[in-house]
């Protein structure tokens, strides 16, 4: 099924977002909406969607399609290759308006409904071709959220289900086939259970709205993003798996700590079904492998949220500030001698490795950066100095990789000041493998002292310059590293 033009019945929050997803995937969208502000509202949704897609992927998107607002259902349906209905959530209204739109459609066009819970058998009851009707229930924002629940009615053909799922997949979504027609489908029923419990917690003055949301976004919500409920519980059961978890926590279903006590009897048959489905879901992946996958996914979420300084990302950012502040308080009290400073030592962490099993090149820069922080703390250019508006910015860096370093290998870094004036520091650093004292890499850096507020280079403040001066003097008599100032190039053949 090749879709070039999408007809959208309704251009509100959901319909406008469907339009954005279609247009950004190279399709033309014709949107029926009688709201006089519809064009402005859809344009604003489109702008947000474009911004989100530009951050989400660097893969080249197709040339955007066009979009326009029309005032009748027939205009939106005429000539469309796929119809998506997002009308108000009233069964009688949907039945009547779907039948009206059908009069202008080709006989082979699928109608997908965005309904969040109405039964497809009832919604297709007024159509002449009910076999081409299917629910395609999305989640807000539709242009970003991948899940779309695909549910057919009693008269929906299997081809319609499959073709609708293929269309949704083609625009970057993840179809979930709902096996049996049921009010609310799957995801909304799960959310409804949580919603009902939340209302009771507020009603009984146990928690506020903010506290309930915090319980989700700082806790299970983070894991649900990538593993869902059942797989999380399987991992909680340890090496014995889901059966062990159910034996441990299954009896709690009868405890009166929830308002939702209407649960199925945990019979051996049900337990066997849960365990068998969990085993099939996990396949041959071990608990330890799932634990590592879980940890990697959580770290990715934390890092992504940190870029927005929000939720768990804000917790991580604040934790890192504490770590930096703690490092500043416990920085190495190096004695100034006629030797390079030794300000940082550590080990190659497991997450630092590339596909060859060696330390990734970006981590060499991280190690040099941490060693440089040790130097800055030593001369008083610490967190407090930065908060007062002054800092050192890296103007130039040259790294030479000499030997590989493997996981858990201990190392140490030495730092030598090659030159300095009132605004600049020329620094040479060497990473040594602690196991054999051989050079693993060298780094040469030029640091520029800057007034952060003005965004311009300026002389160091006296308290920093005074601490730097004796180091410069002590290092003046050290041999200049052989590769200092080296440029990269291939010599031409004689």
pLDDT at 334 over 70: no
- Burial (CB count <10 Å: 0-12, 13-18, 19+), residue 490: exposed
In angstroms, rounded to a whole number, what is the distance separating the alpha carbons of residues 146 and 172? 7
CATH 3.10.129.10 location in the chain: 331-475
Q: Which helix (H) or strand (E) holds 95?
A: helix 91-102
- Integer Cα distance of 250 and 236 in angstroms: 13
Burial of 179 (0-12, 13-18, 19+ CB in 10 A): exposed
Distance CA 57, CA 414 (A): 40
Query: What's the confidence (pLDDT) of residue 58?
Result: 85
- Render 121-168 in DSSP notation, one character per residue: HHHGGG-S-GGGEEEEE--SSTTT--EEEEEE-TT--HHHHHHHHHHH
Q: Which residues make Cβ contacts (< 8 Å) with residue 116, sequence separation at least 6?
A: 89, 137, 184, 185, 188
Q: Where does the pLDDT of residue 137 fall: very low under 50, low under 70, confident under 90, or very high at 90 and above?
A: very high
Q: Which pLDDT score is estimated for 252?
A: 66
pTM of the model: 0.77
Least confident of 238-252, 321-335, 417-431: 321-335
Q: Give pLDDT, residue 246.
A: 83
Judge whether residue 331 has pLDDT over 50: no
Mean pLDDT of the chain, nearest integer? 92
Rg, the chain, Cα only? 31
C-beta atoms surrounding 305 within 10 Å:
19
Q: What is the pLDDT of residues 164-192, one digit of tens each?
A: 999 999 999 999 999 999 999 999 999 99
> Bridge-partner residues for 136, per DSSP?
150
Encode pLDDT of 223-237 as tens digits: 999 999 999 888 888
Rounded to whole angstroms, how far apart are CA atoms 145 and 172? 9
5-177: which CATH number, 3.50.50.60, 3.40.50.720, 3.40.50.1980, 2.60.40.10?
A: 3.40.50.720
Cα–Cα dist 3/27, whole Å: 7
Which string of DSSP letters, residue by residue, matches 200-217? HHHHTTS--HHHHHHHHH
* Domain 331-475 listed as CATH 3.10.129.10: yes
Contact between 69 and 11 under an 8 Å Cβ cutoff? The reply is: yes
Closest CA to 185 of 228, 133, 150: 150
Strands 147-152 and 82-85: unpaired
- Is the pLDDT at 162 greater than 50? The verdict is yes
The three-class DSSP label of residue 37 is: coil
Q: Which whole number is the average pLDDT over 71-98?
A: 97
């Amino acid at each position: 099924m090749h879709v070039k033009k999408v007809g959208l019945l309704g251009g509100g929050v959901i319909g406008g977002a469907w339009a954005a997803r279609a247009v950004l995937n190279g399709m033309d969208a014709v949107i029926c909406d009688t709201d006089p502000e519809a064009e402005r509202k859809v344009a604003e949704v489109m702008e947000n969607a474009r911004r989100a897609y530009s951050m989400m992927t660097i893969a080249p998107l197709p040339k955007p399609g066009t979009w326009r607002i029309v005032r009748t259902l027939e205009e939106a349906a005429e000539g469309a290759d796929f119809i998506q209905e997002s009308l108000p959530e009233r069964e009688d209204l949907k039945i009547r308006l779907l039948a009206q739109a059908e009069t202008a459609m080709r006989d082979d066009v699928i109608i997908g409904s965005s309904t969040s819970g109405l039964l497809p058998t009832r919604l297709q009851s007024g159509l002449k071709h009910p076999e081409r009707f299917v629910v395609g229930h999305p989640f807000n924002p539709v242009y970003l959220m991948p899940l779309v629940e695909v549910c057919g009615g009693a008269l929906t053909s299997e081809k319609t289900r499959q073709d609708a799922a293929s269309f949704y997949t083609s625009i970057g979504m993840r179809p979930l086939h709902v096996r049996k027609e049921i009010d609310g489908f799957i995801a909304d029923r799960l959310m409804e259970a949580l919603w009902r419990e939340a209302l009771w917690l507020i009603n009984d003055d146990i928690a506020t709205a903010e506290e309930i949301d915090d319980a989700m976004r700082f806790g299970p919500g983070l894991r649900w993003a990538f593993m869902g409920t059942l797989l999380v519980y399987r991992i909680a059961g340890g090496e014995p798996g889901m059966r062990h978890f159910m034996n441990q926590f299954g009896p709690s279903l009868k405890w009166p700590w929830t308002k939702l006590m209407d649960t199925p009897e945990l019979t051996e048959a049900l337990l066997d079904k849960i365990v068998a489905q969990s085993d099939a879901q996990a396949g041959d992946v071990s608990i330890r492998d799932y634990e590592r996958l879980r940890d990697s996914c959580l770290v990715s979420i934390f890092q992504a949220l940190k870029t927005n300084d929000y939720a768990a990302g804000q917790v991580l950012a604040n934790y890192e500030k504490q770590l930096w502040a703690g490092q500043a308080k416990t920085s190495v009290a190096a004695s100034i001698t006629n030797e390079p400073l030794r300000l940082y030592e550590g080990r190659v962490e497991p997450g630092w490795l590339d596909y060859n099993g060696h330390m990734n090149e970006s981590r060499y820069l991280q190690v040099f950066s941490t060693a440089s922080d040790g130097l800055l703390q030593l001369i008083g250019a610490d967190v407090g100095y930065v908060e007062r508006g002054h800092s050192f910015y890296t103007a130039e860096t040259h790294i030479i990789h000499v030997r590989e370093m493997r996981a858990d290998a201990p190392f140490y870094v030495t730092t030598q000041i090659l030159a300095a004036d009132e605004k600049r520091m020329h620094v040479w650093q060497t990473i040594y493998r602690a196991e054999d004292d051989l050079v693993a890499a060298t780094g040469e850096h030029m640091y520029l002292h800057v007034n952060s507020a003005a965004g311009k280079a300026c002389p160091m403040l006296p308290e920093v310059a005074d601490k730097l001066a004796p180091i410069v003097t002590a290092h003046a008599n050290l041999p200049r590293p052989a590769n200092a100032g080296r440029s990269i190039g291939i010599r031409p053949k004689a």
